[in-house]
Amino acid sequence: MNDLLLNISKSTVAKKLLKTLKLPIPLPQELKRQSGPWTSYPLLAKRILFKSSKYGLHSGNIMEALHNAGAEIIEEVTTEKKTQGIVFDASGIADSDDLHQVYAALNPLMRSVSKCGRIVIIGTTPSSLTSAKASAAQYSLQGFCRSLAKECGKRGTTVQLIYCPKKLDLSSFETPFKFFLSDRSSFITGQTIELDSSKSQSQVAFAQNLSGKRALVTGAAHGIGAAIAKRLSEEGAHVVLLDRPSEQEALQNVADEIGGCAVLCDLLEKDFIKTILKEAGETGFDIVINNAGITRDKKFANLKSDSWDQTIAINLTAAESICTSLLENGLNQAGKIICMSSIAGIAGNVGQTNYATAKSGIIGFVEAMAPLVKERGITINAIAPGFIATRMTENIPIAIREVARRFNSLSQAGTTEDIAELAVLLAHSGSSAINGKTLRVCGQNLIGA
C-alpha cells in the first residue's frame, strides 16, 4: 500500500491537491492505542451503551461478553456524560421496514459518543437467511456501517459490522467482540467481520492465550514482520523469525530482543521449504505468519519477466508452499495461518500489476483453503494493510506524505503495531469463528473501499 500511495502522489489529482494544501496542515485526531500484552478485562472502566432491535438474537451473549470484559454497561447517555462505545444488536431485522429501528436507536446517540469511540453493529449472516427480504435488510447494514464510519472517522471513532450465525456460542463470539470494542482496533474501521458457525469450544483465556505456542513469522527482520514477532512474543509465544541472509544482523537483533530463534532463508531458493520443515521439527508450529513480500514496480508495458516472476514467487507461491507443506506435516491441530495481502490486491494500482496479482491471489487462496482446514480446527485468514508508517514513507516529501496519509476515514497513517494487533487476534484460540476472511487495517482507505 505504501508503494501505491507513492505512485498516487505523482498523479495529476495529487498535484492539484498539493496546490490547494495550505500549511500548517491540520492534525488528525490522535488515536487511542493500547500497548503491551492483552489483559483479561480489555474494556475495564469503559462506558458501553447497549441497544437491541425488536427481535435481537444475541442480546444474552452481548451482555455477558461486555460484563466479562469489565465494561460499565449503560442504557442511556447524555452529551455531558458521553459513552466510549455503542453496541446495537440488529440481528433480528427482517425486512426494509425494520431498518427504521437502526435509525431510531442510533440517530439520537451520535453526539454522545466520545472521541475515539467504538460502534459495533451485530447482524445475521445474510447468506444464512432463506428470505430474500431478510437477506437484503441484513446486507444493507454494510452500506450503513461504511458510511457511518466515514462520518465518524475525523473524531477517531470506528464502526464495525459483525455478522453472526443465528446460533453462536459465547466462546466463538466473545474474543472478536472484545477486540473490536477495544483500543487494539484503532486503525480498523468500516469493516464487515463474518463469524463462521464454528464448533462449540470451551471458554478460552483472553490474556496470555498464546503462552507456550510456537510461531513462524517470515519477513521478520523489519517493519510489519518484526512488529508481529514482538507482539506474539509478548503474548507468550516462542517465535521463529525468518528472513533472507542479507538481513542477518537485523533479524538477529529482533530475535535477541524477544528471545526468539533467527533463521536465514531465501524464499527464492528452490529448496527453501526444507529449511522451514526442519524448523517445524517434531513439535510443529501452532501459528504461521506469511508476511515476507517484495515489490518490483513498473507499468505493465515496461515490466521485465524477472520482476513479474520474483514478485509472484515471494508474495504468493512461497506462501502457498509454506501453508500446504506445513499442513501435511508441521502445523499442529487447531493451528492458525495468517497471510499478508494488501489494499493493492483489492483495489489494484498503476505500476503494480505483479504485486496486486499476487496479493489478490492471497485472498483467493485463504478463501479456498478455509473449508479444507476447518475440520482440523485450523483457521486461515489474510490481513490487507493500508498506508502504514514505515522508514520508507518517512522519506516522502512532507506535503505529498500528508495528502497520501489522509486517503482514509481516519485521516492518518497506521502503524506496524496496528497490523500486529490484528495478527494477535487471528492467532488467538478465541478467534476460531473467523476463517477464510480478509480483514483490512487501513483506516477505511478511500480507494477500494
Q: Tell how strand 158-164 and strand 113-124 pair up.
A: parallel
CA gap 293, 310 in Å, rounded? 10
Q: Which letter, b or e, does each residue of 249-262 get, where b requires 16 or more Cβ atoms within 10 Å of its Cβ?
A: eebbebbeebebeb
Please list the residues that pair with 288 across neighbouring strands. 216, 337
Cα–Cα nearest to 309, from 320, 325, 294? 294
C-alpha to C-alpha distances, 317 to 64, 321, 435, nearest whole angstrom: 43, 6, 21
Residue 355 a catalytic site member: yes
Catalytic residue among 55, 139, 163, 355: 355
Whether 149 contacts 402, CB under 8 Å? no
Coil/strand/helix, residue 235: coil
Is the distance from CB of 58 to CB of 163 less than 8 angstroms? no
The closest alpha carbon to 53, from 125, 126, 138, 135, belongs to 138
C-alpha cell at 396: 516522502
Which residues are known to be catalytic?
A: 355
